[in-house]
Amino acid sequence: MTTRIVLALVLCMPAVFAAEDENGFVTLGPDEISFEGDPNRPQITLISGDPAQAGFYILRARFLPGVMSAPHTHANDRHVTVIKGTWWTGTDASFDRDKTVPLEPGSYMMHPAGAVHYDGAKDEEVIVEIKGIGPAPTTPYTQ
């Protein structure tokens, strides 16, 4: 089932294809990144790699105001940098917004493999960049 969740997310995830110059450099401006999908859930865009496959990947996730992910885990460590807004993070299974910790733009957080967490936005749009090594399934936490 976890493989199906990852495959479904990757197939539905918009991918950004930036031009590569003659020397192999790739650049991507913020106006070239689009987010699609249900506005009541985190919207994810693939920047590089493929989280469903072995190897390095980069994603951007946008949380519209009030959107939080439900408690979940990942099979591998994930490294997250806040790009825009204040990202609120919870490091347990409580899904209690009052227990979340704010991380401002420029902040970094590492989600250890298998650790239950939830995160998102409260009163403003939030964009985070997520880096890791795939395959990287997201598994909903059930008690």
- What does residue 98 show for φ and ψ, rounded to 5 degrees? -75, -15
> What is the C-alpha to C-alpha distance for residues 114 and 64, in angstroms, rounded to an integer?
26
Ordered domains of the chain (ranges, CATH): 2-18+35-137 (2.60.120.10)
pLDDT category at 10 given cuts 50, 70, 90 is very low
| Average pLDDT of the segment spanning 84-91 | 98
> What is the C-alpha to C-alpha distance for residues 29 and 18, in angstroms, rounded to an integer?
9
| Average pLDDT of the segment spanning 95-122 | 98
- Rounded to two decimals, the pTM is 0.85
Q: Cβ distance 84 to 127 under 8 Å?
A: yes
Q: What is the pLDDT, as a whole number, of residue 7?
A: 37
Tell me the per-residue pLDDT of 33-43, one tens digit each, with 9 for 90 and over.
Answer: 999 899 999 99
